[in-house]
A and B are shown apart, each in its own frame.
Chain A
Protein backbone atom coordinates (compact mmCIF):
# COMPACT_ATOMS: atom_id res chain seq x y z
CA UNK A 1 0.00 0.00 0.00
CA UNK A 2 1.34 3.46 -0.90
CA UNK A 3 2.43 5.65 2.01
CA UNK A 4 0.85 9.09 2.31
CA UNK A 5 3.04 12.01 1.37
CA UNK A 6 3.86 14.86 3.76
CA UNK A 7 1.70 17.19 1.61
CA UNK A 8 -1.35 15.00 2.21
CA UNK A 9 -0.54 14.88 5.94
CA UNK A 10 -0.23 18.69 6.10
CA UNK A 11 -3.63 19.13 4.41
CA UNK A 12 -5.44 17.40 7.28
CA UNK A 13 -7.52 19.94 9.18
CA UNK A 14 -7.43 19.90 13.00
CA UNK A 15 -11.23 19.66 13.14
CA UNK A 16 -11.43 16.52 10.95
CA UNK A 17 -8.62 14.91 12.96
CA UNK A 18 -10.38 15.69 16.24
CA UNK A 19 -13.63 14.18 14.91
CA UNK A 20 -11.77 11.02 13.93
CA UNK A 21 -9.96 10.81 17.28
CA UNK A 22 -13.19 11.28 19.24
CA UNK A 23 -14.92 8.53 17.28
CA UNK A 24 -11.89 6.26 17.77
CA UNK A 25 -12.02 6.89 21.53
CA UNK A 26 -15.74 6.15 21.59
CA UNK A 27 -15.34 2.82 19.75
CA UNK A 28 -12.28 1.83 21.84
CA UNK A 29 -13.99 2.47 25.19
CA UNK A 30 -17.28 0.94 24.06
CA UNK A 31 -15.49 -2.31 23.22
CA UNK A 32 -13.67 -2.51 26.54
CA UNK A 33 -10.31 -0.83 26.01
CA UNK A 34 -8.75 0.51 29.22
CA UNK A 35 -8.53 4.30 29.64
CA UNK A 36 -4.75 4.52 29.70
CA UNK A 37 -4.58 2.56 26.42
CA UNK A 38 -7.11 4.94 24.86
CA UNK A 39 -5.02 7.93 25.95
CA UNK A 40 -1.86 6.37 24.48
CA UNK A 41 -3.74 5.48 21.31
CA UNK A 42 -4.98 9.02 20.56
CA UNK A 43 -1.61 10.53 21.43
CA UNK A 44 0.16 8.24 18.95
CA UNK A 45 -2.47 8.77 16.25
CA UNK A 46 -2.33 12.56 16.58
CA UNK A 47 1.48 12.52 16.51
CA UNK A 48 1.39 10.42 13.33
CA UNK A 49 -0.55 13.29 11.69
CA UNK A 50 1.74 15.98 13.06
CA UNK A 51 -0.43 17.20 15.96
CA UNK A 52 0.13 17.13 19.69
CA UNK A 53 -2.65 16.07 22.03
CA UNK A 54 -3.57 15.92 25.71
CA UNK A 55 -6.18 13.28 26.45
CA UNK A 56 -8.08 12.31 29.56
CA UNK A 57 -10.16 9.16 29.12
CA UNK A 58 -12.66 7.82 31.62
CA UNK A 59 -15.29 5.10 31.28
CA UNK A 60 -17.99 7.77 30.95
CA UNK A 61 -16.25 10.54 28.98
CA UNK A 62 -13.17 11.50 26.99
CA UNK A 63 -11.61 14.98 26.93
CA UNK A 64 -9.25 15.88 24.10
CA UNK A 65 -7.15 18.94 23.51
CA UNK A 66 -5.50 18.90 20.08
CA UNK A 67 -2.89 21.47 19.04
CA UNK A 68 -1.33 22.01 15.63
CA UNK A 69 -1.43 24.13 12.43
CA UNK A 70 -1.77 27.22 14.67
CA UNK A 71 -5.01 26.02 16.25
CA UNK A 72 -6.11 24.43 19.49
CA UNK A 73 -9.35 22.46 19.74
CA UNK A 74 -10.86 21.18 22.96
CA UNK A 75 -13.54 18.48 22.66
CA UNK A 76 -15.54 16.26 24.96
CA UNK A 77 -17.35 13.04 24.11
CA UNK A 78 -19.84 11.55 26.57
CA UNK A 79 -20.14 7.78 26.75
CA UNK A 80 -23.07 6.00 28.29
CA UNK A 81 -22.59 2.39 27.29
CA UNK A 82 -19.61 0.11 27.30
CA UNK A 83 -19.06 -3.62 27.17
CA UNK A 84 -16.40 -6.05 25.97
CA UNK A 85 -16.17 -6.73 22.24
CA UNK A 86 -12.80 -8.31 21.50
CA UNK A 87 -13.53 -8.65 17.78
CA UNK A 88 -14.06 -4.89 17.33
CA UNK A 89 -11.00 -4.25 19.47
CA UNK A 90 -8.87 -6.43 17.17
CA UNK A 91 -10.26 -4.64 14.08
CA UNK A 92 -9.62 -1.24 15.68
CA UNK A 93 -6.07 -2.38 16.42
CA UNK A 94 -5.50 -3.08 12.71
CA UNK A 95 -6.96 0.30 11.72
CA UNK A 96 -4.76 2.16 14.21
CA UNK A 97 -1.75 0.30 12.89
CA UNK A 98 -2.51 1.37 9.31
CA UNK A 99 -3.14 5.01 10.30
CA UNK A 100 0.03 5.14 12.36
CA UNK A 101 2.08 3.79 9.45
CA UNK A 102 0.39 6.38 7.19
CA UNK A 103 -1.05 3.68 4.94
CA UNK A 104 -4.53 5.27 5.11
CA UNK A 105 -5.76 8.80 4.44
CA UNK A 106 -7.93 10.35 7.13
CA UNK A 107 -11.19 10.12 5.14
CA UNK A 108 -10.45 6.44 4.41
CA UNK A 109 -9.74 5.85 8.09
CA UNK A 110 -13.09 7.47 8.99
CA UNK A 111 -14.88 5.09 6.60
CA UNK A 112 -13.02 2.11 8.07
CA UNK A 113 -13.95 3.22 11.58
CA UNK A 114 -17.63 3.53 10.62
CA UNK A 115 -17.46 0.01 9.14
CA UNK A 116 -15.96 -1.33 12.40
CA UNK A 117 -18.70 0.42 14.38
CA UNK A 118 -21.39 -1.23 12.24
CA UNK A 119 -19.66 -4.63 12.34
CA UNK A 120 -22.05 -7.46 13.17
CA UNK A 121 -21.09 -9.71 16.12
CA UNK A 122 -18.82 -12.60 15.04
CA UNK A 123 -21.15 -15.21 16.54
CA UNK A 124 -24.91 -15.61 16.05
CA UNK A 125 -27.10 -14.57 18.97
CA UNK A 126 -28.23 -18.13 19.78
CA UNK A 127 -24.58 -19.20 20.13
CA UNK A 128 -23.89 -16.30 22.52
CA UNK A 129 -26.90 -17.34 24.63
CA UNK A 130 -25.70 -20.97 24.64
CA UNK A 131 -22.22 -19.77 25.60
CA UNK A 132 -23.74 -17.88 28.55
CA UNK A 133 -25.28 -21.18 29.67
CA UNK A 134 -21.95 -22.95 29.11
CA UNK A 135 -20.09 -20.35 31.24
CA UNK A 136 -22.49 -20.94 34.12
CA UNK A 137 -22.14 -24.71 33.74
CA UNK A 138 -18.32 -24.43 33.76
CA UNK A 139 -18.31 -22.28 36.91
CA UNK A 140 -20.65 -24.59 38.82
CA UNK A 141 -18.63 -27.62 37.65
CA UNK A 142 -15.41 -25.91 38.76
CA UNK A 143 -16.87 -25.31 42.22
CA UNK A 144 -17.83 -28.98 42.63
CA UNK A 145 -21.43 -28.97 41.40
CA UNK A 146 -23.29 -32.26 40.94
CA UNK A 147 -24.77 -33.50 37.64
CA UNK A 148 -28.26 -32.07 38.06
CA UNK A 149 -26.76 -28.79 39.34
CA UNK A 150 -24.78 -28.52 36.11
CA UNK A 151 -27.98 -28.88 34.07
CA UNK A 152 -29.73 -26.32 36.29
CA UNK A 153 -26.76 -23.92 36.00
CA UNK A 154 -26.82 -24.22 32.20
CA UNK A 155 -30.54 -23.33 32.17
CA UNK A 156 -30.00 -20.40 34.54
CA UNK A 157 -27.13 -19.16 32.37
CA UNK A 158 -29.42 -19.20 29.33
CA UNK A 159 -32.13 -17.32 31.26
CA UNK A 160 -29.57 -14.78 32.44
CA UNK A 161 -28.31 -14.08 28.89
CA UNK A 162 -31.83 -13.78 27.45
CA UNK A 163 -32.95 -11.51 30.29
CA UNK A 164 -29.89 -9.31 29.91
CA UNK A 165 -30.52 -9.05 26.17
CA UNK A 166 -34.14 -7.98 26.76
CA UNK A 167 -33.61 -5.55 29.65
CA UNK A 168 -30.43 -3.96 28.23
CA UNK A 169 -32.46 -2.28 25.49
CA UNK A 170 -34.42 0.91 26.08
CA UNK A 171 -34.54 3.49 28.85
CA UNK A 172 -34.35 1.13 31.82
CA UNK A 173 -31.06 -0.53 30.95
CA UNK A 174 -29.55 0.48 34.29
CA UNK A 175 -32.04 -1.93 35.89
CA UNK A 176 -31.01 -4.86 33.65
CA UNK A 177 -28.67 -6.33 36.27
CA UNK A 178 -31.30 -5.99 39.00
CA UNK A 179 -34.09 -7.65 36.98
CA UNK A 180 -31.78 -10.40 35.75
CA UNK A 181 -30.60 -11.14 39.30
CA UNK A 182 -34.25 -11.31 40.42
CA UNK A 183 -35.14 -13.67 37.59
CA UNK A 184 -32.16 -15.98 38.16
CA UNK A 185 -32.76 -16.06 41.92
CA UNK A 186 -36.47 -16.77 41.36
CA UNK A 187 -35.67 -19.67 39.01
CA UNK A 188 -33.00 -21.03 41.40
CA UNK A 189 -35.50 -20.85 44.30
CA UNK A 190 -38.08 -22.72 42.19
CA UNK A 191 -35.49 -25.39 41.33
CA UNK A 192 -34.62 -25.71 45.03
CA UNK A 193 -38.30 -26.45 45.72
CA UNK A 194 -38.29 -29.23 43.08
CA UNK A 195 -34.85 -30.65 44.04
CA UNK A 196 -34.48 -30.12 47.78
CA UNK A 197 -30.76 -31.02 47.97
CA UNK A 198 -29.71 -28.46 45.35
CA UNK A 199 -27.11 -25.88 46.41
CA UNK A 200 -29.09 -22.70 45.70
CA UNK A 201 -26.34 -20.08 46.38
CA UNK A 202 -24.01 -21.96 44.02
CA UNK A 203 -26.67 -22.01 41.32
CA UNK A 204 -27.40 -18.29 41.71
CA UNK A 205 -23.72 -17.35 41.45
CA UNK A 206 -23.34 -19.71 38.48
CA UNK A 207 -26.38 -18.21 36.73
CA UNK A 208 -25.06 -14.68 37.24
CA UNK A 209 -21.43 -15.42 36.30
CA UNK A 210 -21.43 -13.25 33.17
CA UNK A 211 -22.81 -10.33 35.22
CA UNK A 212 -20.65 -10.46 38.36
CA UNK A 213 -18.16 -7.60 38.13
CA UNK A 214 -14.93 -9.55 38.69
CA UNK A 215 -13.31 -8.36 35.48
CA UNK A 216 -14.36 -4.74 36.11
CA UNK A 217 -12.83 -4.99 39.59
CA UNK A 218 -9.55 -6.30 38.11
CA UNK A 219 -9.52 -3.52 35.48
CA UNK A 220 -10.19 -0.94 38.21
CA UNK A 221 -7.22 -2.03 40.31
CA UNK A 222 -5.12 -2.36 37.14
CA UNK A 223 -5.80 1.29 36.30
CA UNK A 224 -5.34 2.46 39.89
CA UNK A 225 -1.99 0.65 40.02
CA UNK A 226 -0.93 2.67 36.96
CA UNK A 227 -1.97 5.88 38.82
CA UNK A 228 -4.88 6.41 36.46
CA UNK A 229 -6.84 7.49 39.52
CA UNK A 230 -10.03 9.00 38.09
CA UNK A 231 -10.71 6.19 35.65
CA UNK A 232 -9.69 3.50 38.17
CA UNK A 233 -11.94 4.98 40.86
CA UNK A 234 -14.84 5.18 38.39
CA UNK A 235 -14.42 1.52 37.45
CA UNK A 236 -14.10 0.52 41.12
CA UNK A 237 -17.40 2.25 41.85
CA UNK A 238 -18.97 0.53 38.85
CA UNK A 239 -17.87 -2.87 40.22
CA UNK A 240 -19.27 -2.06 43.67
CA UNK A 241 -22.57 -0.73 42.33
CA UNK A 242 -23.01 -3.78 40.05
CA UNK A 243 -22.27 -6.20 42.92
CA UNK A 244 -24.73 -4.36 45.19
CA UNK A 245 -27.38 -4.32 42.43
CA UNK A 246 -27.06 -8.07 41.90
CA UNK A 247 -27.09 -8.75 45.64
CA UNK A 248 -30.24 -6.61 46.10
CA UNK A 249 -31.97 -8.34 43.18
CA UNK A 250 -31.28 -11.75 44.69
CA UNK A 251 -32.10 -10.62 48.25
CA UNK A 252 -35.45 -9.18 47.12
CA UNK A 253 -36.56 -12.53 45.64
CA UNK A 254 -35.16 -14.69 48.44
CA UNK A 255 -36.74 -12.41 51.06
CA UNK A 256 -40.09 -12.72 49.32
CA UNK A 257 -39.65 -16.54 49.08
CA UNK A 258 -38.82 -16.64 52.79
CA UNK A 259 -42.06 -14.84 53.73
CA UNK A 260 -44.09 -17.04 51.37
CA UNK A 261 -42.68 -20.06 53.19
CA UNK A 262 -43.43 -18.47 56.57
CA UNK A 263 -47.06 -17.86 55.60
CA UNK A 264 -47.31 -21.46 54.29
CA UNK A 265 -47.94 -20.52 50.64
Chain B
Protein backbone atom coordinates (compact mmCIF):
# COMPACT_ATOMS: atom_id res chain seq x y z
CA UNK B 1 0.00 0.00 0.00
CA UNK B 2 2.97 2.30 0.59
CA UNK B 3 3.53 2.60 -3.16
CA UNK B 4 0.50 4.92 -3.11
CA UNK B 5 2.58 7.47 -1.20
CA UNK B 6 5.11 9.75 -2.89
CA UNK B 7 7.82 11.83 -1.19
CA UNK B 8 5.82 14.89 -2.26
CA UNK B 9 2.86 13.67 -0.16
CA UNK B 10 5.12 13.37 2.87
CA UNK B 11 6.53 16.82 2.21
CA UNK B 12 3.00 18.26 2.04
CA UNK B 13 2.09 16.53 5.30
CA UNK B 14 5.25 17.78 7.03
CA UNK B 15 4.63 21.33 5.79
CA UNK B 16 0.99 21.21 6.87
CA UNK B 17 1.81 19.75 10.30
CA UNK B 18 4.55 22.30 10.92
CA UNK B 19 2.37 25.21 9.79
CA UNK B 20 -0.65 24.11 11.83
CA UNK B 21 1.70 23.65 14.79
CA UNK B 22 2.83 27.27 14.51
CA UNK B 23 -0.72 28.60 13.96
CA UNK B 24 -1.91 26.73 17.09
CA UNK B 25 1.22 27.82 19.04
CA UNK B 26 2.60 24.40 19.86
CA UNK B 27 5.55 24.61 22.33
CA UNK B 28 8.69 24.85 20.10
CA UNK B 29 10.26 21.80 21.80
CA UNK B 30 7.44 19.56 20.54
CA UNK B 31 7.32 20.89 17.03
CA UNK B 32 8.83 17.73 15.51
CA UNK B 33 6.38 15.47 17.38
CA UNK B 34 3.44 17.33 15.86
CA UNK B 35 4.99 17.25 12.38
CA UNK B 36 5.53 13.51 12.69
CA UNK B 37 1.89 12.99 13.69
CA UNK B 38 0.72 15.01 10.69
CA UNK B 39 2.84 12.80 8.42
CA UNK B 40 1.35 9.66 10.01
CA UNK B 41 -2.16 11.07 9.55
CA UNK B 42 -1.57 11.81 5.87
CA UNK B 43 0.10 8.44 5.36
CA UNK B 44 -2.88 6.70 6.99
CA UNK B 45 -5.42 8.48 4.83
CA UNK B 46 -3.47 7.79 1.63
CA UNK B 47 -2.92 4.09 2.31
CA UNK B 48 -5.99 2.96 4.29
CA UNK B 49 -8.22 5.51 2.54
CA UNK B 50 -7.29 4.20 -0.91
CA UNK B 51 -8.75 0.75 -0.15
CA UNK B 52 -11.63 1.40 2.23
CA UNK B 53 -14.52 3.75 3.03
CA UNK B 54 -13.49 7.25 4.14
CA UNK B 55 -15.19 6.80 7.53
CA UNK B 56 -13.25 3.63 8.31
CA UNK B 57 -9.97 5.08 7.04
CA UNK B 58 -10.49 8.18 9.21
CA UNK B 59 -11.34 6.02 12.22
CA UNK B 60 -8.19 3.87 11.88
CA UNK B 61 -5.94 6.87 11.21
CA UNK B 62 -7.40 8.96 14.05
CA UNK B 63 -7.01 6.01 16.43
CA UNK B 64 -3.34 5.62 15.50
CA UNK B 65 -2.69 9.37 15.74
CA UNK B 66 -4.60 9.58 19.07
CA UNK B 67 -2.67 6.63 20.54
CA UNK B 68 0.70 8.02 19.50
CA UNK B 69 -0.17 11.45 20.89
CA UNK B 70 -1.00 9.80 24.24
CA UNK B 71 2.37 7.99 24.13
CA UNK B 72 4.08 11.34 23.46
CA UNK B 73 2.08 12.90 26.31
CA UNK B 74 3.22 10.18 28.71
CA UNK B 75 6.83 10.50 27.57
CA UNK B 76 6.99 14.29 27.83
CA UNK B 77 4.50 15.01 30.64
CA UNK B 78 2.57 17.45 28.42
CA UNK B 79 -1.14 17.32 27.44
CA UNK B 80 -1.95 14.91 24.59
CA UNK B 81 -3.94 17.71 22.96
CA UNK B 82 -0.67 19.58 22.26
CA UNK B 83 0.41 16.84 19.86
CA UNK B 84 -3.01 15.76 18.70
CA UNK B 85 -4.39 18.98 17.23
CA UNK B 86 -1.76 19.58 14.51
CA UNK B 87 -1.91 15.82 13.79
CA UNK B 88 -5.65 15.56 13.19
CA UNK B 89 -5.93 18.76 11.15
CA UNK B 90 -5.48 16.73 7.94
CA UNK B 91 -8.45 14.55 8.94
CA UNK B 92 -11.05 17.10 10.08
CA UNK B 93 -13.80 17.76 7.55
CA UNK B 94 -13.78 21.57 7.69
CA UNK B 95 -13.74 21.80 3.91
CA UNK B 96 -16.81 19.54 3.57
CA UNK B 97 -18.67 21.56 6.17
CA UNK B 98 -17.89 24.86 4.44
CA UNK B 99 -18.75 23.44 0.99
CA UNK B 100 -22.02 22.03 2.35
CA UNK B 101 -23.21 25.42 3.57
CA UNK B 102 -21.87 27.06 0.44
CA UNK B 103 -23.92 24.60 -1.63
CA UNK B 104 -27.01 25.25 0.49
CA UNK B 105 -26.68 29.01 -0.05
CA UNK B 106 -26.46 28.39 -3.81
CA UNK B 107 -29.66 26.25 -3.59
CA UNK B 108 -27.75 23.03 -4.36
CA UNK B 109 -29.46 21.21 -1.48
CA UNK B 110 -28.73 17.68 -2.69
CA UNK B 111 -24.94 18.01 -2.73
CA UNK B 112 -25.11 20.12 0.47
CA UNK B 113 -26.90 17.27 2.25
CA UNK B 114 -24.40 14.70 0.94
CA UNK B 115 -21.48 16.82 2.11
CA UNK B 116 -23.01 17.36 5.56
CA UNK B 117 -23.53 13.62 5.93
CA UNK B 118 -19.92 13.01 4.89
CA UNK B 119 -18.70 15.61 7.41
CA UNK B 120 -20.80 13.99 10.17
CA UNK B 121 -19.45 10.49 9.37
CA UNK B 122 -15.83 11.67 9.28
CA UNK B 123 -16.25 13.76 12.45
CA UNK B 124 -17.94 10.92 14.34
CA UNK B 125 -15.14 8.58 13.23
CA UNK B 126 -12.50 10.96 14.59
CA UNK B 127 -14.38 11.56 17.85
CA UNK B 128 -14.94 7.89 18.62
CA UNK B 129 -11.41 6.94 17.55
CA UNK B 130 -9.98 9.56 19.92
CA UNK B 131 -12.23 8.39 22.76
CA UNK B 132 -11.09 4.82 22.12
CA UNK B 133 -7.42 5.90 22.05
CA UNK B 134 -7.96 7.75 25.34
CA UNK B 135 -9.50 4.59 26.83
CA UNK B 136 -6.73 2.30 25.59
CA UNK B 137 -3.93 4.64 26.68
CA UNK B 138 -5.45 6.92 29.33
CA UNK B 139 -3.65 10.17 30.16
CA UNK B 140 -1.81 10.46 33.44
CA UNK B 141 -2.57 14.18 33.47
CA UNK B 142 -5.85 16.07 33.80
CA UNK B 143 -5.33 18.33 30.81
Binding site for B on A (CB under 8 A): 28, 32-34, 37, 40-41, 44, 84-90, 92-94, 96-97, 100, 121-123, 127-128, 130-135, 137-139, 141-143, 161, 201, 205, 208-210, 212-215, 217-218, 221-222, 225-226, 239-240, 243-244, 246-248, 250-251
| Contact yes or no, B19 A86, CB < 8 A | no
Q: List 11 A-B contacts (CB under 8 A).
A: A33-B143, A41-B142, A86-B85, A128-B23, A138-B12, A138-B19, A142-B13, A142-B42, A214-B94, A217-B97, A243-B97
Contact B25 A205 (CB under 8 A): no
Say yes or no: A87 contacts B15, CB within 8 Å.
no
Given A134-B18, A135-B20: A212 touches B123 (CB 8 Å cut-off): no
Q: How far apart are B43's CB and chain A's nearest CB, in angstroms?
A: 12
Whether B82 lies near A215 (C-beta < 8 A) is no
Given the contacts A214-B93, A221-B127, A37 and B16 also touching, CB distance less than 8 Å: no
Could you tell me the distance between the alpha carbons of A52 and B83 in the complex, rounded to whole angstroms?
32
Contacts of B64 in A (CB 8 A): none
A residues less than 8 Å from B124 (CB atoms) = 221, 225
Asked if A201 and B123 sit within 8 Å, CB to CB, the answer is: no
Given A137-B15, A251-B105, verify A32-B23 contact (CB < 8 Å).
Answer: no
The 7 closest A-B pairs by CB, nearest first: A214-B94, A214-B92, A212-B94, A138-B16, A134-B19, A131-B22, A247-B101
B118 to chain A, nearest CB (A): 12
CB neighbours of B24 from chain A (8 A): 32, 84-86
Interchain CB contact (< 8 A) of B27 among A86, A96, A143, A218:
A86
